[in-house]
């Protein structure tokens, strides 16, 4: 028996969420009194793979085939399932991100392994195996029992944190036949913003709503984000009106995020918006209406016009840095 | 070309959730049920593709796994414009069970494109679409923000962190769709509602399938402490609190 974690890379690099995954899986392996194996797919430099050892990984299996450098969910799922079988894994752990959402369900079907997505913490019990997850878009938590022998979890971002646990690491190439029939989906073009902080990865998010009154008024939001090294986001009406792109919409039907700090400027805080931000560690709300529901979920609040408050806040952050 | 849209029947997004029987079951008394928001956008996009004369989409079917209480939601999907609805008469126990039921239907009734919403707003499993693809051994594309057909040549956009990929695929395939797939969900017209009454809503018996996971208990999140209000002139104080009290900077 063992536990296996799938460590996704982006252009050969891991993210903090990968290290959080390894930290979680190590703690799970300890809880189950077993060992952990980490699986990496695609070409990743040895130096980068060794970073996994900082968080408790002592064994890494890597499939460093260049045709796997971009995510092909069928091929990845096939490899994850084969690696899990080869190490006799009882639990398979992935991150709850785009790739985890694409791969984990396929592995679940392949191995007939019960899957629980967006798990919040270590299992609440092992016999029976019960984990806790967000349900009803964050309005509640559910305790879910996995009844199958093999189990799959995806873990929610920022649910566990990073736990340093330096280990001597061995890296082994995992030999696997890759079925080229699984590459029927062809990527013909790819665009990536290199200059902006990625919303789903950001530790600090500055978000704005209809209180900004017009799309021309966004400069104070962007300036504050720049000073904080933050990503920008928006409420649903703002993206529906086309003031900002859909990729910035946070909320129940947009992105669900969990930054350390979320600043909501001119956002009233409808229940659907709160569903997307309730896992933030700290929420700051700025709104003209002292009765706005956003203040009931915020940790700190300022009643005032965003167009006045945002520039002052930017100035205050700038001064505190210098 | 035929499109199948998977529909989940979920409580209205403004519902205040409550539980019953020792917090083991969702209390659905007084709950307004709706088409899962992403599924509604998927249906809207399917309609747009069918209406575009440049491609050959000739049938849109919606499918749901669940009891008769979902029929009103399926009628709404028909009123929006689906040609046909299918309900697999099974208790939707978990994602594996639901996806397996839909796959069994697909084996007898093939479609070219299968749309599935990225998650359902009730149990947030975000797994059914990719599981259907695996059960059927179809290609699947996740995080889909647009699907275009040009003379039945399929082009799909997939969101990646901070960007997008443009993807070409062959049929049949599963598209797991998210925000952006359509702009606004359609509202049924009076004529649509009248016509929906005459459209077929087939009820199929459930297949024998295993259930791998079970919800056993629910809990509500802890109440948040009071919001600390800061004078709008005192932004320095807020910065100080974020640094030294909340310790998030």
pLDDT in tens, A191-229: 988 778 999 999 999 999 999 999 999 999 999 999 999
Which DSSP string do the residues of A256-285 spell out, in sequence order?
Answer: ----SEEEEES----HHHHHHHTT-SEEEE
Smallest Cα–Cα separation from B145: which of B129, B166, B124? B166
- Shortest CA gap B116–chain A (Å): 12
Query: Is residue B215 within 8 Å of residue A141, measured between CB atoms?
Result: no
- Express each pLDDT in A85-139 by its tens digit: 999 999 999 999 999 999 999 999 999 999 999 999 999 999 999 999 999 988 9
Q: What angle do CA B221, A247, A231 make, to 5 degrees?
A: 75
A312 touches chain B (CB under 8 A): yes
Q: What is the mean pLDDT of residues A48-77?
A: 95
Smallest Cα–Cα separation from A139: which of A274, A234, A268, A264? A274
**Could you tell me the two tokens for A306?**
């965003």
Taking only residues 241 to 260 of chain A, the set having a beta carbon closer than 8 angstroms to any beta carbon of chain B reads: 246-247, 249, 252-254, 260
Q: What's the confidence (pLDDT) of residue B153?
A: 85
A150 touches chain B (CB under 8 A): no
Domain B2-224 falls under CATH 3.40.830.10: no
d(CA A129, CA A90): 11
ipTM: 0.95
Q: What's the confidence (pLDDT) of residue B101?
A: 98
d(CA B140, CA B142): 6
Spell out the domain ranges in chain B: 2-224
* CA-based nearest residue in chain B for residue A316: B236
d(CA B20, CA B43): 33
A210 is an annotated ligand-binding site residue: yes
Query: Is residue B186 within 8 Å of residue B60, measured between CB atoms?
Result: no
| Cβ-proximal residues to B151 (8 Å cutoff; 6+ apart), any chain | B54, B55
pLDDT at A287 over 90: yes
Reported as a pLDDT band with limits 50, 70 and 90, residue A168 is very high
What is the interface size between A and B, counted as CB pairs within 8 Å?
270
Query: Is residue A159 within 8 Å of residue A106, measured between CB atoms?
Result: no
Residue with tokens 């509602």: B193
Q: What's the confidence (pLDDT) of residue A223?
A: 97
Q: Which of A105, A187, A240 shows the shortest C-beta gap to B130?
A: A105
H-assigned helices in chain A: 16-31, 46-51, 73-86, 98-111, 219-228, 236-240, 271-277, 294-297, 306-321
Report DSSP state, residue A255. B
d(CA B65, CA B87): 6
φ and ψ of B31, to 5 deg? -85, 135
Query: Is residue B90 within 8 Å of residue B65, measured between CB atoms?
Result: yes
Put simply, the answer to whether B212 touches A317 (Cβ < 8 Å) is no
Q: What is the dihedral of CA B174, B178, B180, B186, to 10 degrees?
A: 90
pLDDT at A322 over 80: no
Collect all residues of chain B within an 8 Å Cβ-Cβ radius of residue A145: 213-216
Q: How far is CA A19 from CA A24, A50, A93, A95, B140, in A?
A: 9, 11, 12, 10, 28
Pairing of strands A204-208, A261-265: parallel
Put simply, the answer to whether A185 touches B141 (Cβ < 8 Å) is yes
Q: What's the confidence (pLDDT) of residue B162?
A: 85
HSE-up (13 A, CA, CB side) for residue A132: 15
Each residue's pLDDT expressed in tens, for chain B with a length of 249 residues: 999 999 999 999 999 999 999 999 999 999 999 999 999 999 999 999 999 987 889 999 999 999 999 999 999 999 999 999 999 999 999 999 999 999 999 999 999 999 999 999 999 999 999 999 999 999 999 999 999 998 778 999 999 988 999 999 999 999 999 999 998 899 999 999 999 999 999 999 999 999 999 999 999 998 888 999 999 999 999 999 999 999 998
HSE-up (13 A, CA, CB side) for residue B191: 1
**Could you tell me the two tokens for B246?**
């909340």
Q: Is A319 exposed, middle or buried (0-12, 13-18, 19+ CB in 10 A)?
A: exposed
Strand partners, B144: B158, B177
A69 touches chain B (CB under 8 A): no
d(CA A300, CA A296): 10
SS3 (DSSP) at B162: coil
Domains and CATH numbers, chain A: 2-182 (3.40.50.620), 199-321 (3.40.50.1220)
Residue with tokens 């890296």: A171
d(CA B153, CA A270): 40
């Amino acid at each position: 028996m063992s536990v296996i974690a799938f460590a996704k890379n982006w252009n050969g690099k891991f993210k903090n969420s990968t290290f959080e995954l390894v930290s979680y899986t190590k703690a799970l392996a300890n809880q189950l009194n077993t060992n952990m194996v980490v699986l990496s797919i695609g070409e990743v430099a040895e130096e980068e793979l060794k970073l996994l050892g900082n968080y408790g990984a002592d064994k890494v299996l890597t499939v460093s085939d260049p045709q796997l450098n971009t995510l092909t969910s069928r091929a990845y799922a096939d490899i994850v399932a084969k690696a899990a079988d080869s190490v006799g894994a009882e639990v398979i752990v992935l991150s709850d991100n785009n790739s985890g959402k694409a791969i984990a369900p396929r592995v679940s079907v392949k191995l007939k392994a019960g899957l629980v997505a967006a798990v919040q913490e270590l299992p609440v019990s092992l016999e029976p195996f019960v984990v806790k997850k967000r349900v009803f878009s964050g309005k509640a938590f559910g305790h879910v029992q996995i009844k199958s022998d093999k189990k799959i979890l995806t873990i929610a971002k920022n649910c566990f944190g990073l736990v340093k646990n330096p280990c001597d690491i061995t890296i082994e190439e995992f030999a696997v036949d890759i079925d080229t029939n699984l590459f029927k989906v062809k990527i013909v073009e790819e665009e990536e913003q290199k200059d902006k902080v990625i919303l789903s990865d950001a530790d600090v998010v500055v978000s704005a709503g209809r209180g900004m009154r017009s799309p021309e008024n966004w400069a104070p939001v962007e300036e504050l984000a720049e000073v904080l090294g933050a990503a920008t986001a928006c409420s649903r009406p703002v993206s529906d009106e086309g003031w900002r792109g859909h990729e910035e919409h946070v909320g129940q039907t947009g992105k669900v995020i969990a930054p350390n700090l979320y600043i909501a400027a001119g956002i009233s805080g409808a229940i659907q918006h709160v569903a997307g931000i309730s896992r933030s560690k700290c929420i700051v709300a700025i709104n003209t209406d002292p009765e706005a529901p956003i203040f009931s979920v915020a940790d700190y609040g300022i009643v005032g016009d965003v167009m006045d408050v945002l520039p002052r806040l930017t100035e205050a952050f700038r001064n505190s840095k210098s | 070309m035929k499109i199948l849209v998977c529909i989940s029947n979920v409580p209205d997004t403004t519902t205040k959730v409550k539980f019953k029987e020792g917090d083991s079951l969702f209390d659905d008394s007084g709950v307004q049920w709706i088409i899962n928001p992403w599924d509604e956008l998927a249906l809207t996009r399917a309609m747009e593709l069918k209406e575009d004369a440049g491609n050959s989409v000739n049938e849109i079917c919606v499918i749901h796994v669940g009891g008769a209480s979902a029929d009103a939601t399926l009628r709404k999907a028909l009123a929006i414009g689906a040609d046909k609805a299918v309900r697999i008469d099974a208790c939707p126990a978990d994602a594996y069970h639901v996806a397996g039921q839909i796959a069994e239907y697909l084996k007898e009734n093939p479609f070219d494109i299968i749309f599935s919403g990225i998650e359902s707003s009730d149990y947030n499993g975000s797994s059914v679409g990719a599981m259907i693809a695996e059960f059927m051994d179809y290609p699947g594309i996740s995080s889909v923000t647009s699907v275009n057909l040009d003379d039945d040549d399929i082009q799909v956009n997939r969101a990646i962190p901070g960007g997008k990929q443009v993807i070409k695929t062959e049929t049949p395939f599963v598209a797991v769709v998210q925000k952006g797939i359509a702009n606004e969900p359609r509202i049924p017209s009076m004529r649509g509602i009248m016509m929906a009454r005459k459209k077929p809503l087939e009820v199929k018996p459930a297949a024998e399938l295993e259930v791998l996971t079970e919800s056993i208990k629910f809990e509500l999140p802890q109440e948040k402490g009071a919001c600390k209000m800061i004078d709008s002139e005192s932004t320095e104080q807020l910065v100080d609190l974020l640094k030294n009290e909340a310790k998030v900077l």
